[in-house]
Structure 1
Amino acid sequence: MPPRHPTIASALGPVRRSLRAAGSPHRLLVACSGGADSTALVGLLHLLARDEALALIVAHVDHGLRPESADEAAVVARSAAERGLACVSTRLSLSPGSGLPARAREARRAALSAFATAHACDAIALGHTATDQAETLLMHAARGCGLEGLAAMRPWEAPWLRPLLELPRAGTRALCERMGMTWCDDPTNTDEEQPRIRVRERVLPELRAHNPRVEAALVCLATQAADAEEALRDWAAREEAARRRGADTWWSTDDLHRLPRAVRTRILRRICGLGGADLGALRAAVIEDIDRTVMARAAALGGTGAVLRPHVWHLRPGLHLRLDRHGLKLAGAAPGAQIPAT
């Protein structure tokens, strides 16, 4: 075991906290590509394994896209064996072409999930760093997003655990050296054809010139966005449930207009989701229009019993939402539809 060093000690604290946040798992699958980030993660978790009563299994997924990938798989297996850790691996058959990063991510996650199930693991640890978090937040913001997008990657989203989100990528190589671990450099990590790499190589250096701790600042922003989103989501869930009348197809709009806009729009999304609407495909403009109409109706009623013209929004074929004097009503809801978690 390498001698303890301040850089190792400072990294172990956040990793230990992440394990607590995940409920102190006993069996942990550690995804390792062979790069410095995930290799450092393996080393740090190995140092904590005895104190935390952790059983670790290293998992490597070879995408099969580069000739040198087989050598990287061997490096991962050898590093795990040197520490007495079990190692499992698989080789995928992905073809180059459109949407490759997304396809590779989905295939990798599916393979890791299968390994975790086969080995009865409680969680899957990923080597995402503060730099990855900063890149994700900036990419989401550039595309246009709300609080959920600014929250970027969560430290713990069962079964996915990200213990290194407080550690910048620049620190993982030093950690590997201190722990005597060998890593591989993936040439695709410098391919500026990929949007993430352009953010990494062009945008972040410019921001870092103004604030050397820009990754920490953006991680803090992501954390605050996640906290705010969770609070608003919980508030909206309580308000939606309190307004449900009878079957899950009718909601009272009494005093809905008095709630903050951020809560109202989340209530409306929950109602649409309950009917079976695809919230990923449902345009924000639709929710905004429903909200404006709710507010306009409340202003027009002015506390009287006036009857205003009903409004109808088509959420998907066979499903619509109607607003009238009785409130909001769903028609054509999918049988057994459930309220989404978000």
Structure 2
Amino acid sequence: MSGPAVAAVRRAVREFLAAIEAPAELCVAVSGGADSLALAEATAYVGHHRGHRVRALVVDHGLQDGSAKIAADAAAAAKALGADEAEVRRVDVTGPGGPEAAARKARYGALAGHDLVLLGHTLDDQAETVLLGLGRGSGPRSLAGMRPHDPPWGRPLLAVPRATTRAACAELGVEPWEDPHNAEARFTRVRLRTEVLPLLEDVLNGGVAAALARTAAQLREDSEALDTSADRIFTRAGGVEGLDVAVLESEPAALRRRVLRRWLLASGVRELTDAHLRAVDALVARWRGQGGVWLPGNLEARRCRGRLCVISQPTTRGD
């Protein structure tokens, strides 16, 4: 018989799968930690009752001695917990942004290519994400945290505390692997987890992680409503080929900037910052005949004859 923690994880997976159109094969990312092992067991249990096949995907980052054995042990544990298949994918962790960002990019690249991949992010991970966004001033999209379903990624455990996944592993008689990187204070998330959140919980008398997760959910709902309105304005203003300033200038800033953001991303602008977005917005809201706005990728946003357009400037900035 399963205990209350195992039942809570299974219930979260059952509710998640009932809310989406789940494919025949459910993939689960497994690291060997408590969150992913609890998720793998719940996915196998619930998935098999629903007629799904379950595949465990283990990413070997190769960042420490013995990583191949750790990955193989994680795959074996997933099979023992009910997964139909388990495979290890080795990646090279390189690139800009520091080790955390490089590892994350490599991991998501290795996991891509499936209709649905379930990830073991918990309520505590969501709280950390919201705090990171708040500290960086990243705006409402970042504060809205991780989406439960952001195809192909699925996160059934965003309302489940980390303590519950640990308890589930204990009930299952499984000893999870403890990643030594999770104890290294040089990583921002580790300090948030071990220093900042415990301090906030103490000062505010508990419930901070759950409150941050609720805030993220509320902001996601607000953002989705604003995005729906912005989509209609985007179409009315002209779409990717260029935007009619007359349509935009009467809209509230929150909607107008969402339209501009969608347009700039669709036009090929990458690494779009808040400063870029506000500079382009000034071509609408504070038009004084100024020149264009230089954007990443040698692109420039200009206002011409009452319309906004993006042009390529491959060698020089242009006027």
TM-score for both structures, normalised by structure 2 = 0.86
Could you tell me which residue of structure 2 aligns to residue 41 of structure 1? 39
Q: CA RMSD in A?
A: 2.6
Query: 1:330 aligns to what SS in structure 2?
Result: strand
Structure 1, 192-201 or 10-19: larger mean CA deviation: 10-19
Partners of 1:81 and 1:270 in 2: CA distance: 42
Could you tell me which residue of structure 2 aligns to residue 66 of structure 1? 64
Quote how far apart the aligned CAs of 1:123 are: 0.7
Query: 1:196 aligns to what SS in structure 2?
Result: helix
Partners of 1:103 and 1:288 in 2: CA distance: 29
Query: 1:165 aligns to what SS in structure 2?
Result: coil
Could you tell me which residue of structure 2 aligns to residue 89 of structure 1? 88
CA displacement, residues 243-300 of structure 1 (integer Å, 9 cap, x when unaligned): 229x92351415x44422200112233343444333x23x423433454563456xxx
Q: Which amino acid is 1:243 matched to?
A: A
Could you tell me which residue of structure 2 aligns to residue 104 of structure 1? 103
**Residues 54 and 164 (structure 1), Cα distance of their counterparts in 2 relative to 1, 3 Å cut:** same
Structure 1, 135-144 or 50-59: larger mean CA deviation: 50-59
Partners of 2:105 and 2:172 in 1: CA distance: 31
- On the 8 A contact 2:144/2:220 being kept in 1, the answer is yes
Quote how far apart the aligned CAs of 1:23 are: 1.4
Quote how far apart the aligned CAs of 1:333 are: 6.1
CA displacement, residues 302-329 of structure 1 (integer Å, 9 cap, x when unaligned): xxxxxxx633323344633116xx5223
Unaligned stretches of 5+ in structure 2? 314-319
Tell me which structure has the larger Cα radius of gyration. Answer: 1
Quote how far apart the aligned CAs of 1:212 are: 2.4
Tell me which of 306, 311, 315 is aligned to 1:327: 306
How many percent identity over aligned positions? 35
- On the 8 A contact 1:32/1:76 being kept in 2, the answer is yes
Aligned residues: 309
Partners of 1:66 and 1:291 in 2: CA distance: 47
Could you tell me which residue of structure 1 aligns to residue 292 of structure 2? 313
- On the 8 A contact 2:283/2:303 being kept in 1, the answer is no
Partners of 2:82 and 2:260 in 1: CA distance: 53
Tell me which of 97, 111, 130 is aligned to 1:137: 130
CA displacement, residues 185-212 of structure 1 (integer Å, 9 cap, x when unaligned): 1111110110100000111001222242
Partners of 2:125 and 2:208 in 1: CA distance: 12
Q: Which amino acid is 2:308 matched to?
A: K
Matched, 1:270 2:262: yes
Matched, 1:238 2:232: yes
1:14-33 alignment runs, 5 A limit:
14-33=12-31
Partners of 2:38 and 2:301 in 1: CA distance: 51
Quote how far apart the aligned CAs of 1:48 are: 0.9
CA displacement, residues 17-53 of structure 1 (integer Å, 9 cap, x when unaligned): 2223331232011111111111111111122123222
- On the 8 A contact 1:275/1:319 being kept in 2, the answer is no
**Residues 243 and 62 (structure 1), Cα distance of their counterparts in 2 relative to 1, 3 Å cut:** closer
Partners of 1:215 and 1:46 in 2: CA distance: 28
TM-score for both structures, normalised by structure 1 = 0.81
Query: 1:61 aligns to what SS in structure 2?
Result: strand
1:1-342 alignment runs, 5 A limit:
3-85=1-83, 86-94=85-93, 99-113=98-112, 117=113, 121-209=114-202, 210-244=204-238, 248-254=241-247, 256-278=248-270, 280-281=271-272, 283-292=273-282, 294-296=284-286, 310-316=289-295, 317=298, 319-322=300-303, 326-330=305-309, 332=311
- On the 8 A contact 2:116/2:154 being kept in 1, the answer is yes
Structure 1, 16-25 or 135-144: larger mean CA deviation: 16-25
Query: 1:163 aligns to what SS in structure 2?
Result: coil
Could you tell me which residue of structure 1 aligns to residue 316 of structure 2? none
Structure 1, 74-83 or 261-270: larger mean CA deviation: 74-83
Unaligned stretches of 5+ in structure 1? 298-308, 335-342
- On the 8 A contact 1:19/1:25 being kept in 2, the answer is no
